[in-house]
Amino acid sequence: MSGQGARTGPVGVGLIGAGTISSQYLQNLTAFPDLDVRWVADLDTARAQERAQEFGVPRSGSVGELLADDDVELVVNLTIPRVHAEVGLQVLEAGKHVWGEKPLALDLEDGRRLLEAARSAGLRAASAPDTFLGAGLQTARRVLESGRVGAPLSALTLFQNPGPESWHPDPAFLFAEGAGPLFDLGPYYLTTLVQLLGPITRVSATSSVARPSRTIGSGPKAGQQFDVTVATHVSALYEFAGGASAVSVFSFDSAVRRTQFEVAGAEGTLLVPDPNTFDGDVGVHRLDEDLVSVPARGATTTRGTGVLELARAIRAGVPERASGELALHVLDAMVSTSRAAQDRAAVDLTTTVDVVPPLAEDWDPTARTLGA
């Protein structure tokens, strides 16, 4: 089916996947006046119905039923990582735009296939994370581009904790292909690095596994063990097209819980909020003055903000910010990091991306901009 013709008014939205993350999305999506959330679909249709009723969505049922509804223009794909690309292709084949949860796919071949299918159909394939659209990271970017810390030279990012198995009731998938600290949390850090420093060109890395199995610590499966099949600690050095570099650690093996993100410039250091959040003040520590806190300015709505920005971009005929091309480049960085760690050799990325301008400070997700 070819791409959709020109439409006006709020964008009709359907959601595939009624799991835990769907609540966060639906809370926002149903509150945005520029979106008309019409469907929730899931393999478990009873769960889809329950979620739809919870948020006042008029229809629920199977994926096939959702995809057959012409009033749905944009589908939010919240399925598990290993079927992100497969479901995304089904959405595009049905003639609808798709927003996917991260990662875009598990390998570059599937990611490229998804984007090519979208281009061929005249449709959009965009992807989380959208945290960089939030007030905290948008403010960080504006401060950096203002020159207050000088030209960016390097960055340090740390994500460290003991792992999610102590609190997550069913954590095995977070230690399997498509997850681990690199693929689960890496997209937030790498997307933000690209927004601040530009496209990545090369990566060197090491990785390790602390324990071959882990024990579930809470919920009905507490006490059960599961196998760890991906690296649980990754250390990487990224090189950027503009000449900057970044050292990053992604770890589920640390007894110390730490999140840190800083960018060092020629005249000072920028302290960036947690890239897995949409808010947070920015710190500026110049060489000639003490630390100054810059209040975050911008949107503080959470997951789903990127879906709205995509919908408005579709109506306006302009590129979306959380684009498939950005997600593919971040996927390339993660795949290349894994390969560099495995081969103990630097890997050149095969993709690049143009970084789009920041949002205006007064960009308002809660405003009605698309008319009736």
Query: What confidence score (pLDDT) does residue 5 get?
Result: 54
Query: What confidence score (pLDDT) does residue 372 get?
Result: 67
Q: What are the DSSP calls for 170-196, one per residue?
A: SGGGGGSTT-HHHHHHHHHHHHHHHHH
**Taking the model in full, what pTM does it have?**
0.94
Query: What confidence score (pLDDT) does residue 138 get?
Result: 98
Helix residue spans in the chain (DSSP H):
20-29, 45-54, 63-67, 84-93, 108-121, 135-146, 180-197, 305-316, 324-343
| Pairing relationship of beta strands 152-160 and 125-127 according to DSSP bridges | unpaired
CB 303 within 8 A of CB 128: yes
Query: What confidence score (pLDDT) does residue 76 get?
Result: 98
CB 240 within 8 A of CB 349: no
Query: What confidence score (pLDDT) does residue 6 get?
Result: 74
Query: What confidence score (pLDDT) does residue 51 get?
Result: 98
Which residues of the chain fall below pLDDT 70? 1-5, 372
Query: What confidence score (pLDDT) does residue 4 get?
Result: 56
Distance CA 2, CA 328 (A): 23
All domains in the chain, ordered by first residue: 11-127 (3.40.50.720), 133-294 (3.30.360.10)
DSSP state at residue 323: B
Helix residue spans in 40-179 (DSSP H):
45-54, 63-67, 84-93, 108-121, 135-146
Report in angstroms the alpha-carbon separations of 103 from 231, 242, 342, 357.
17, 25, 20, 23
Query: What confidence score (pLDDT) does residue 163 get?
Result: 96
Query: What confidence score (pLDDT) does residue 1 get?
Result: 36
